[in-house]
A and B are shown apart, each in its own frame.
Chain A
Amino acid sequence: MSFTLGSIVFLSAGLFMGWSLGANDAANIFGTAVGTKMIKFRTAATICSIFVIAGAVISGAGASHTLGQLGAINALAGAFAVSLAAALTVFGMTKQCLPVSTSQSIVGSIIGWNLFAGVSTDPVILYKILSTWLFAPLLGAVFAIIFYCAINFILNRVEIHLLRLDNYSRIALVLAGVFGSYSLGANNIANVMGVFINVSSFGDIYIKDLFHISGIQQLFLIGGIAISIGVITYSKKVMLTVGTNIFKLSPVTAFIVVLASSTVLFIFASEGLKMWLIERNLPSFPLVPVSQSQAVVGAILGIGIIKGGRNVNFKILWKIAIGWILTPILSLMISFVLLFLVQNVFMQNVFLK
């Protein structure tokens, strides 16, 4: 993929996907902190932008590789249609106020491409991905319960002045935000740029022997920048909504939620952690893009459960279940229709035989 006008147009679908991801998902990391004015939006947006890009470029390859195994899209126009279908599904479902995951929509789109191109979908990879959708909120809840108990144990034994606790909470929220942004970039860049990997023609760049950036990393850098633009341009509104209207979290519980959901994203994205676990003969986690929003909802439910089940809104679980079924089916169908249009109306090759 050289920088022709055509390639930029094709890549724009991925950039749109990145922009929506940044606009929506940054609120999962900094929503409460910004909504409750613990952290200024400018600080949150700066931290989020920098570490999303870092996570995407440094650790984005693992989850993208799994998506590639699900469907190795081999034509630029096909990647465009798949990416656009996923982005439109996210956009449409968000408009209808339905919970949506970019991870689920991209998977549905890729399967749509597999069907259109007559490529079989690997059931093992598909099962691996589907199981993580169930595990992500569950793990989010488990981590939140563990972190909640640990922090509660400490706070009940150490008499910390309310004002000092406030200061520690701000620092903790910033650090959790750094971790959350890095994990988001590492895990979710696959949703934004994963489908373009096989059709990317970015060459590796070497600056003497000191610096090397691969073609995939360049692609992820562009995707990361698109996410950052989404964070800077549109996430404030979403953050204020999350922080003040939907979840009434205290700064300490907000920290727990961000830490728990970010840990979920991290373990499903980190190749280093996977290798470390394998070397020690421990069970490892598949590297799969997972929904941060669902990990966050899982974490909040976890806290609700440990607090005695009060205020747990089980309707949210229903909504997630509907999202699980609706999102991939919708994006699969849109992907199929778009691929048909791009191939037959715009006369572009959407797959290579």
Chain B
Amino acid sequence: MKKLFINRNKELENEIEVYLLSIHNATLTFNEGVGDYVKNNHKRFQERIDKLIDIERQADDQLKDLKYKLYKYNLIPDFSGDVLALLDSLDDISDASKQILIQLSIEKPNIYDYLKDDFIKLAETSLKCVETLLGGVRGFFSNSKAVEEIVNRVYFYEAEVDKIEEVLKRQIFNTEITIELSERMHLRYFINKIAQISDTAEQIALKLSIFKLKRNI
């Protein structure tokens, strides 16, 4: 009987919060990393990559531990599927952030001066989108009424990212500066990759609003 009332839930509650902080740190580092790359701060950019790899590894370990505990102790049996789907999707964000920085360091696309501001803005708005989403995830766990409003803000930031993405692509393909088509496509590839972070956030937000509805007794 004593075992029945051991509060593993509190332990797991803290671990979920730590995991959400890891995802937040990963996107903050990603944003700083993009800024450093665009501004040609190569040494700091490499440090950001190393840090992001480290954060991502930690987040992976935390996620594995969360999954193990949720199933081993059969916590929140009627919501464990939803919670794991949510946490797994968040891992996609940190994973994508890491991959983008690594690919930037390998492929070294040339970010022209006239594109730099919008590139940074693209990363910053993606960060805002993810930060807002994380607030929504916390709201889902605490049964906050604000979840729907937060989800709406995620949609808003995602739409902003789409606008910046379009502006950037138009600037790349309509410029009078002589750039090889392959280089234009290379830049477009990275813009798509960065914009995908907010797309992922939008998909998670959609799941979140459904899970929130299911939380009602």
Any A CB within 8 A of the CB of B178: no
Chain A, residue nearest B140 (CB): A162
CA distance A156 to B74 in the complex (A): 25
With known contacts A155-B217, A170-B4, A253-B217, A164–B13 Cβ distance under 8 A:
yes
Contact A159-B143, Cβ < 8 Å, known A152-B217, A164-B9? yes
> Given the complex of chains A and B, what is the CA–CA distance between A40 and B7 in angstroms?
16
Q: Which residue of A lies closest to B15 (CB)?
A: A163
Query: Given A162-B143, A250-B78, do A148 and B217 touch, yes or no (CB 8 Å)?
Result: yes
CB-CB under 8 A from B79, the residues of chain A are 162, 166
Q: Separation in Å of the A42 CB from the closest CB of chain B?
A: 10
Please tell me the size bucket of the interface on A.
20 to 34
Q: Which residue of B lies closest to A255 (CB)?
A: B217
Asked if B1 CB lies within 8 Å of chain A CBs, one says yes
Q: Determine whether A88 belongs to the interface, using a CB cutoff of 8 Å to chain B.
A: no
Residue-wise interface mask of A (151-173) relative to B, using a CB-CB cutoff of 8 A (1 in contact, 0 not) = 11001100111111111001100
CB neighbours (8 Å) of A201 from chain B are none
Q: Tell which of A31-39, A75-83, A89-97, A204-212 binds the partner.
A: A31-39
**Distance, CA A160 to CA B13, complexed state (A):** 11
B9 x A166 contact (CB < 8 A): yes
Contacts A167-B7, A174-B4, A250-B78 known; A162 to B141 CB distance under 8 Å? yes
Determine the distance from Cα of A19 to Cα of B143 in the docked complex, in whole angstroms. Answer: 43
Does B76 have its Cβ within 8 Å of any Cβ on chain A? Answer: yes
Cβ A162 vs Cβ B144 within 8 A: no
- A163-B16 Cα distance, complex, nearest whole Å: 10
B4 touches A166 (CB 8 A): no
Cβ of B56 to closest chain A Cβ, rounded Å: 25
B140 with A36: CB separation less than 8 A = no
- Main secondary structure on B side of the interface with A: loop
- Residues in A with CB closer than 8 Å to B7 are 167
A162 to B217, Cβ gap below 8 A? no
Nearest A residue to B141, CB-CB: A162
What is the CA–CA distance of A151 and B217 in the complex, to the nearest angstrom? 9
The reply to whether B10 and A164 form a contact with Cβ atoms under 8 Å apart is yes
Please give me the residue from chain B that is nearest to A159 by CB atom: B142
In chain B, residues 16-41, which have Cβ atoms closer than 8 Å to a Cβ of chain A? 16
Max chain B Cβ within 10 angstroms of own Cβ: one of A161, A170, A252: A161
CA distance A250 to B216 in the complex (A): 10
A43 within 8 Å of B by Cβ? Answer: yes
By the criterion CB–CB under 8 Å, are A161 and B78 in contact?
no
Distance A170 CA – B10 CA, assembled complex (angstroms) = 14
| Interface assignment of B64: CB less than 8 Å from any CB of chain A | no
- What 1/0 mask marks residues of chain A from 97 to 115 whose CB sits below 8 Å from any chain B CB? 0000000000000000000
Within 8 Å by CB of B9, from A163, A250, A253, lies A163
| Closest chain A CB from B75 CB (angstroms) | 6
> Is B83 close to A, CB under 8 A?
yes
Complex: A225 Cα to B144 Cα, angstroms: 47
Asked if A251 is an interface residue, CB under 8 A from chain B, the answer is: yes
> Are the C-beta atoms of B141 and A161 separated by less than 8 Å?
yes
Which among B75, B140, B217 has the highest number of chain A CB atoms within 10 Å? B217
List which B144-165 residues lie within 8 A (CB) of chain A: 144-145
Which residue of the partner chain, among B5, B13, B16, B74, contacts A37 with CB atoms under 8 Å?
Answer: B74
B42 at the interface (CB under 8 A from A): no
Q: Mark B174-198, 1 if CB is under 8 A from A, else 0.
A: 0000000000000000000000000
B-side contacts of A43, CB under 8 Å: 1, 4
Residues of B within 8 A of A162 (CB): 76, 79, 83, 140-143, 215
Q: How far is it, in angstroms, between the C-alpha of A140 and the C-alpha of B189 when the chains are bound?
A: 62
A-B pairs with beta carbons under 8 Å apart, 29 shown: A36-B78, A37-B77, A38-B74, A39-B4, A40-B4, A43-B1, A148-B217, A155-B143, A159-B143, A159-B144, A161-B13, A161-B142, A162-B79, A162-B140, A162-B141, A162-B142, A163-B10, A163-B13, A163-B16, A163-B75, A163-B141, A164-B9, A164-B13, A165-B143, A166-B9, A166-B75, A167-B7, A250-B217, A253-B217
14 more contacts with CB within 8 A, not counting A163-B10, A167-B10, are: A37-B77, A38-B74, A152-B217, A159-B144, A161-B13, A161-B141, A162-B83, A162-B141, A164-B9, A164-B10, A164-B13, A166-B79, A170-B4, A253-B217
